[in-house]
Amino acid sequence: MEADEAPAGEMTVVLGSGWPGVLIHEAIGHGLEGDFNRKKTSAFSGLMGEMVASPVCTIVDDGTIPDARGSLNIDDEGNPTESTVLIENGKLCNYMQDNLNAKLMNTKSTGNGRRNHILLRPFRE
């Protein structure tokens, strides 16, 4: 088999909807959850307001987009979901928060309370 060599070097990357969102979620999403930052177990702990990515990078957790993967009207704690800018122009702006961690971190919920099953209470870390 023959194939051309893939180009190397610095280049623009555009991620579309769908699986690239899962990639971002797994790569940095969990690290931007309030509980991991409150416990100082995230790579993003203590970096609020700091540059954590390229200045051209903006990441938004938007649970309000109709019919989009992960979008809901309310989270599992009864809070409306929100569009939360997590990283803007490379700067860390927010963490995703549920009720408990928002209270402990003296901020507000971002509508990210989750639970494993309807009969179980929301996650408490």
pLDDT at 117: 72
Q: What is the distance between the alpha carbons of residues 43 and 122, in angstroms, rounded to a whole number?
A: 24
Assign 19 to helix, strand or coil. Answer: helix
pLDDT in tens, 2-33: 899 988 998 887 777 778 888 888 999 999 99
Residue predicted with more confidence, 85 or 125: 85
Residue with tokens 């280049």: 11
Instruction: Say if residues 44 and 31 touch (Cβ distance below 8 Å).
Output: yes
Q: What is the distance between the alpha carbons of residues 26 and 39, in angstroms, rounded to a whole number?
A: 19
Instruction: Say if residues 124 and 101 touch (Cβ distance below 8 Å).
Output: no
pLDDT at 11: 84
When pLDDT is cut at 50, 70 and 90, the band that residue 123 belongs to is low
pLDDT at 14: 75
Per-domain boundaries in the chain: 19-104
